[in-house]
Structure 1
Amino acid sequence: MPSHDRVPRPAGPPARGGTDPEVDRLLARSDAELAAAATASDPAERFEHGHLAALRAAAAVVALRGRPSPRTGARSVWDMLARVEPDLAPWAGYFASGARLRVAIEAGHGEQVTARRAAELVACAEDFRDEVGILVDPDGGFALRLHAAPAAS
């Protein structure tokens, strides 16, 4: 029986790991944001990139599982994530609590972000991205490759 809480996704050609190209694109964007967070020296910039990385990873899960119906009242990606993948609801709550701070940073008010807070959020974003990678492809094809260096010859 089809669920009435989700909007069906259009069929399209699967990308690697059997996912659709949108999921792959969102995970690549998440990885790019984590790379930017890793190289940023300003705590506010690190926080912003880390939060955006988590946002992109959450959007990948929503793209994979299908958007909840507008009738559910889910308005943000964090609300949608909690509805379509309840096991990730604690992550959704954590990152939703940082959304206002990210908006403040984007408005030029990043002075309130400490190095410790930024480091915590980036570490959580990396952990969340890893969990999403396992969810998307349990065989490891979508694992975060932020710190992988090419082998020396």
Structure 2
Amino acid sequence: MITSTSTARRRTRSSHQGERGDLHAVAPVPRTVVDLLARSDAELGAAELATDPAERFVHGHLAALRAGAALLEVTGRPVRRPMPRTVWDMVSAVAPELSAWAGFFAAGAPTRAAVESGRDADVDETRADRTVAAAEDFQDAVRALVLPPHEHTLDLEAS
């Protein structure tokens, strides 16, 4: 369970616009981060239960999107460009070590949009499974960045 003594990693910004700073711990982990990671977990659970490959793909992609949003909640959004950017662009900017995953999920965004809008999208079992597995790995990587080592799993309590 995340407590008030928990710490999260946060990127600091230097006074030079666009220059990345070092990671340092802050306390406590913001509640929105916990909520976004819980929503990511829920999407992964829905992906496991889905029988349709397209539905599994969408849930896997959304799980990664929620985890990416949790990372951005901790790190803040990059300030280099004033124009709108995707979550995946911002993840790559604030955490270059996650760029490969960000690129993978950015490439899948048009397919997710097609499935969600009811357009024909060719999603087979292999692609769905690969997306869900990547989402699980990405979520683990995000947890490693935003949660202290002893709290990489969340103990959620019903309200």
Is residue 30 from structure 1 mapped to residue 26 from structure 2 by the alignment? no
Identify which of 125, 139, 145 aligns with 2:149. Answer: 139
User: Runs of at least 4 residues of structure 1 off by over 6 A?
Assistant: none
Cα shift readout 1:104-126 (whole Å, capped 9, x = no counterpart): 00011355110111011001101
Aligned partners of 1:110 and 1:52: how far apart in 2?
19
Identify which of 10, 18, 39 aligns with 1:5. Answer: 18
Please report how far the alpha carbon of residue 72 of structure 1 lies from its aligned counterpart in structure 2 after TM superposition: 6.1
Higher strand share: 2
% identical aligned pairs: 50
Partner of 2:91: 81
Identify which of 52, 58, 64 aligns with 2:68. Answer: 58
Aligned partners of 2:138 and 2:39: how far apart in 1?
14
Aligned partners of 1:45 and 1:126: how far apart in 2?
16
Q: Which amino acid aligns with 2:99?
A: A
Cα shift readout 1:16-67 (whole Å, capped 9, x = no counterpart): xx31111111111101100000110000000000000000001111111011
Cα shift readout 1:66-91 (whole Å, capped 9, x = no counterpart): 11126265610000000111111111
Higher helix share: 1
TM-score of the pair, normalised by structure 1:
0.80
Measured on the aligned residues, the alpha-carbon RMSD in Å equals: 2.2
